[in-house]
């Protein structure tokens, strides 16, 4: 497929109300179910390597169901992968940017053809409902299309001011070999986005996926090879962070790390990467997107029906397991009681069940997450007034928790300050709009936020004072689109990478300035 620089357009979502689409998706789920329980290897320089030590990926909707059994990389695999990747890098970095970009465009073409297969994998492996999984795959296609075009742009010589007697040049070169550590909650989009940004800019990558979502990452690696990516440019190592991730991050031959996940793990990686190891000849670059304690503000002028609708979508979509999810709701005192009444009424309509059956709310990711969320709910009983939810859902198997709302929460309470990463919403009363902004900013995080208001002065004030990387007005605080809402947060939400934006590829590049004196 030739490189095409036509205008980028976001991939449309699938309309599952159309019978043909619904039937096609059900068939895709059956296909993935027919492949459950298989064993999967590491991939190093194109070679598939099975190890004796393995772990299992489980279906959170039905934990007795094994998605797949995956090899655990050993120290020798880490050493071999880094050695191979640096050798391949010497060739890959010389491939013209447009040729590298063309591989991403071919991958986008192939992913569209297999869209439902990838989405169905996420339904079973991480408990996304159909719409959430389809949006994840659409975002992945967007990254392929958008980063291909961006790579072509960055691959050109950059403009400089002319200077008499010299020929100045400025261009970008890749960093080298990096480690990609993605999360389980957007296991295709974020995995693909960080990885393809790395390789399309001329770097080689070692992908260490979450142990809760290795199958979708494996399918992505296979897709890239099918699209024509040379072996060794992208390598695949699975296993726990302590055994595989930490040694990769700390290794002196690792040039950069791209991470998305929790604040705790992100800070650990940041610290580990900052220590210069014996034989290391660079300061490692770390691109880190971490957590959020995202707030929605509803002022007294807001359209309350819209505000409640989008708050619930933000708080309980994918069980609140998004770094962008609303976990704090700040309401003006004049409409506080009315909004609470509406929230409870609408929340009680939410249905919970297996992701395969396309309930709005499915399971949380695993037993550990379920335990942590339930512990926070117990803390919440002493920090707020329980309005609805508060316990495991009455479903025979799986990690299901009811959508839970606490009212009258103090802005400094644990459930208002710490990231829960589950379907728990803390509601806080504000005296006025200034108070609401102060409450919203009273967090170590600064990822996303929304304001529902019809008051233009308040909207302008929010744009200036609400300290988040992604601010939305009169819409939900989740669902960022590539090149529409460049994504990344402030403070402890990470390094503000702005994934899906026009600055993102620069994080995987370094600028080189050359000037040649003209002889007369």
d(CA 392, CA 90): 53
Quick check: 354 and 319 in contact, CB under 8 A?
no
Q: Dmax over Cα atoms in the chain, in whole Å? A: 85
| 3-class DSSP assignment, residue 297 | strand
166 labelled catalytic: no
Tokens linked to 393: 């859902």
d(CA 300, CA 61): 40
d(CA 262, CA 368): 14
Query: Around Cβ 48, how many Cβ atoms within 10 Å?
Result: 11
Tokens linked to 58: 């489980």
The shares of helix, strand and coil residues in the chain, as percent rounded to the nearest 5, are 40, 20, 40
Quick check: 416 and 328 in contact, CB under 8 A?
yes
Query: Around Cβ 121, how many Cβ atoms within 10 Å?
Result: 29
Catalytic annotation, pick one of 150, 300, 323, 477: 323
222 labelled catalytic: no
Catalytic annotation, pick one of 11, 289, 300, 370: 289
**Stated length of the chain:** 520
End-to-end CA distance of the chain: 46
Quick check: 277 and 426 in contact, CB under 8 A?
no
CB-based burial label for 116 (10 Å; 0-12, 13-18, 19+): buried
Q: Which residues are catalytic?
A: 289, 323
């Amino acid at each position: 497929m030739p490189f095409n620089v036509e205008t980028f357009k976001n991939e449309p979502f699938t309309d599952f109300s159309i019978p043909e689409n619904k039937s096609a998706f059900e068939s895709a789920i059956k296909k993935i179910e027919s492949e459950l329980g298989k064993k999967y290897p590491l991939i190093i320089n194109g070679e598939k390597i099975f190890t004796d030590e393995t772990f299992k990926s489980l279906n959170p909707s039905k934990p007795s169901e094994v998605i797949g059994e995956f090899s655990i990389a050993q120290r020798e695999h880490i050493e071999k992968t880094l050695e191979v990747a640096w050798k391949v890098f010497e060739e890959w970095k010389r491939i013209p940017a447009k040729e590298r970009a063309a591989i991403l465009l071919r991958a986008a073409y192939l992913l569209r053809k297999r869209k439902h297969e990838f989405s169905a994998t996420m339904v079973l492996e991480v408990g996304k409902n159909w719409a959430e999984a389809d949006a994840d795959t659409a975002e992945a296609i967007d990254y392929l299309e958008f980063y291909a075009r961006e790579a072509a742009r960055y691959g050109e010589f950059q403009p400089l001011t002319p200077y008499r007697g010299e020929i100045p040049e400025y261009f970008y070169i890749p960093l080298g070999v990096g480690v990609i550590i993605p999360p389980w909650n957007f296991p295709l989009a974020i995995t693909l986005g960080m990885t393809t940004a790395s390789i399309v800019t001329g770097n080689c990558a070692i992908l260490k996926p979450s142990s809760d979502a290795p199958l979708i990452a494996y399918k992505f690696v296979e897709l890239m090879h099918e699209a024509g990516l040379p072996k060794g440019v992208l390598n695949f190592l699975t296993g726990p962070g302590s055994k595989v991730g930490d040694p990769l991050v700390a290794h002196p031959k690792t040039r950069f790390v791209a991470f998305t996940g929790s604040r705790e793990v992100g800070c650990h990686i940041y610290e580990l990467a900052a220590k210069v190891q014996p034989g290391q000849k660079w300061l490692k670059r770390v691109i880190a997107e971490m957590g959020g304690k995202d707030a929605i503000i509803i002022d007294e002028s807001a359209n309350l029906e819209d505000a409640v609708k989008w708050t619930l979508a933000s708080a309980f979509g994918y069980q609140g397991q998004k770094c962008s999810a609303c976990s704090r709701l700040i309401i003006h005192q004049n409409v506080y009681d009315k909004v609470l009444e509406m929230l409870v009424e609408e929340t009680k309509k939410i249905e919970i069940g297996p992701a395969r059956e396309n309930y709005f709310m499915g399971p949380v990711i695993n037993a550990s997450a379920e335990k942590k969320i339930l512990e926070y709910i117990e803390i919440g009983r002493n920090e707020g007034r329980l309005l609805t939810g508060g316990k495991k859902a009455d479903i025979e198997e799986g990690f299901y928790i009811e959508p839970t709302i606490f009212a009258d929460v103090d802005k400094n309470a644990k459930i208002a300050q710490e990231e829960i990463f589950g379907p728990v919403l803390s509601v806080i009363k504000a005296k006025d709009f200034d108070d609401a902004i102060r409450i919203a900013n009273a967090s170590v995080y600064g990822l996303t936020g929304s304001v529902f208001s019809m008051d233009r002065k308040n909207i302008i004030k929010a744009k200036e004072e609400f300290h988040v990387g992604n601010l939305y007005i009169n819409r939900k605080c989740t669902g960022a689109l590539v090149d529409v809402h460049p994504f990344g947060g402030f403070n402890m939400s990470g390094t503000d990478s702005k994934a899906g934006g026009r600055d993102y590829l620069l994080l995987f590049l370094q600028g080189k300035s050359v000037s040649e004196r003209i002889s007369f």
